[in-house]
Amino acid sequence: MRSLFFLLTGLLLSCAANARVLPIGSGGYSGLEAAAADARPGDTILFLAGTHQGGAYVENLQGRADAWITITGEAGALISGGGNAFQLTDPAWLRITRLAFDAQTGNGVNIDDGGSYATPAHHLLIEECEWLGIDATGNNDMLKLSGVDSFTVRGCRFINGAAGGSMIDMVGCHAGMFEANRFENAGSNCIQAKGGTRFIRIERNAFYNGGQRAINIGGSTGLPYFRPLDASFEASDILVAANIFTGSEAPIAYVGAVNCAVVQNTIYLPEKWAVRILQESTDARFQSCGNNTFLNNLVVIDNRAAGPTFNIGSNTAPETFQFRNNLWFNTESAAWGGPNTPTTDIESVIGRDPRLRAPALVDGDFSLLAGSPAIGSGTPMAAPLKDFLGNAFHIPPSIGAIEGNPPTSGAEFPPLASAMQVTVYPQPASGPITVRLRGVSATQAVLTLFDTFGRGVGRWEHVFIAPEATISLGLGSQSPGLYFLMVSAGAQHRLLPLVLQR
């Protein structure tokens, strides 16, 4: 998977020598097609202030890793109408920023790989754009991504989606990040990830009235449209973290999804269910929806979603789901016994008011008041590092999207400083590992293994005589890859990378 690091690297290098600004509007190019035909790596295509007609189609608009092309707009630049505002086929090393779109009759912005599954569109950054409404009611999407790899959508706003469509729809996309976006008044979904989509992070976004399924982790895709064509899942390895949801028929839906994690989110007053577990693609090749996690989430419901809180469909594997350290509170019933989770929610908090500061406001304040039972009640996670407000999560973290006890150090990572020294060997590991502790003040250690999406995949407890210990861990059937080992001994913590190879 291509690293999102290259997005930032590319932008730093995009100010190539001899880069030009290509204006669209009065005195400049007639439209995006004309400007794109003349664009070279490093150039900026600039929509001048005013309303521009949508409907452009552009192929192979490609910068270079060291010279990205930018499409941007002056203040007040609006692309209105057209089937699409524009459709980009096989773009690469392209940044789209500070544009507004409205009144498209098809998909607002459509980006695809031209059907060439082996050569995806790649290295795209979409930021600070606005989708202000769509002139369609069917299966029409504001931002449609098909066969796009290594991309980021950040700081954008999506409002008033089509009744039958998604605000963002991904088919066969990989290695993507959605961060700090705002979604309001969706139709079917705010974000949908399907068709073999994998390795996606959805973090620190706000979802207001998110439609039928605010985040649809999976979905239903025709067999010819999967990327790769032989994918055995609709979605895999999706991380949904530190987001805030208000409203929506069901804020979270796992649909033909495997190995996905929903962690550290705040869900407020869903209209029908908090979570759905479904299987819409039933061809024999597909895995049943399962092996997913739901951890450290704060869920406030009323009686609309109290019975049941989970909607579980046929052909799924709900018994393989993991639930841990979630807080569940029904504002209308002190006698509510908790949600119908398909497996036990370990160390959950049920029936205690989380003491949210002002959730009922238009832009609710979901921070935790002093004394909230959510503060410090989560299980440690390797991801996400930051909460909805951009503060680091504590160890242990608070439950929900906003840390109630944020560190004061301003560090990027959770506070792990202590006198404890930890050595892990061998590295890389192909079998059991040895963990050596020195300078330990406690007599018991808890070791937790996390995958790269922050999911706990192993946990061990060891009692020893302080201040030193040598612990042998058998890692069993864990797949090769990068993991993080959290070592906690009393108030002392260490988080170390661990590479497994077989």
The pLDDT tens digits for 249-258 are 999 999 999 9
The pLDDT, as a whole number, for residue 143 is: 98
Q: Over range 466-493, report the average pLDDT.
A: 86
Nearest to 131 by CA among 202, 185, 59, 203: 185
Q: Over range 397-407, report the average pLDDT.
A: 90
Q: What percent of the chain has pLDDT over 70?
A: 94
Place of tokens 């290509």: 22
Place of tokens 């995958």: 451
The pLDDT, as a whole number, for residue 14 is: 41
- Structure confidence at residue 502 as a pLDDT band (50, 70, 90): low
Q: Over range 490-501, report the average pLDDT.
A: 83
The pLDDT, as a whole number, for residue 348 is: 97
Fold of 421-500: Immunoglobulin-like (2.60.40)
Q: Over range 462-482, report the average pLDDT.
A: 87
Please state which of the ranges 13-22, 126-135, 192-201 shows the lowest mean pLDDT. 13-22
- Structure confidence at residue 476 as a pLDDT band (50, 70, 90): confident
Q: Are 176 and 201 in contact (CB under 8 A)?
A: yes
Residue-range domain boundaries for the chain: 421-500
For residue 446, pLDDT beyond 60: yes
How does the average pLDDT of the chain come out, rounded?
Answer: 92
- Structure confidence at residue 497 as a pLDDT band (50, 70, 90): confident
By DSSP bridging, strand 121-127 and strand 250-255 are unpaired
Distance in angstroms (rounded) separating the CA atoms of residues 19 and 222: 42
Distance in angstroms (rounded) separating the CA atoms of residues 324 and 315: 24
Distance in angstroms (rounded) separating the CA atoms of residues 182 and 190: 10
More confident residue, 454 or 7: 454
Neighbours of 52 (CB within 10 A): 25
The pLDDT tens digits for 67-89 are 999 999 999 999 999 999 999 99
The pLDDT, as a whole number, for residue 482 is: 79
Pure H helices in 145-244: none
The pLDDT tens digits for 187-221 are 999 999 999 999 999 999 999 999 999 999 999 99
Q: Over range 284-306, report the average pLDDT.
A: 97
The pLDDT, as a whole number, for residue 205 is: 98
The pTM is what?
0.88
For residue 413, pLDDT beyond 50: no
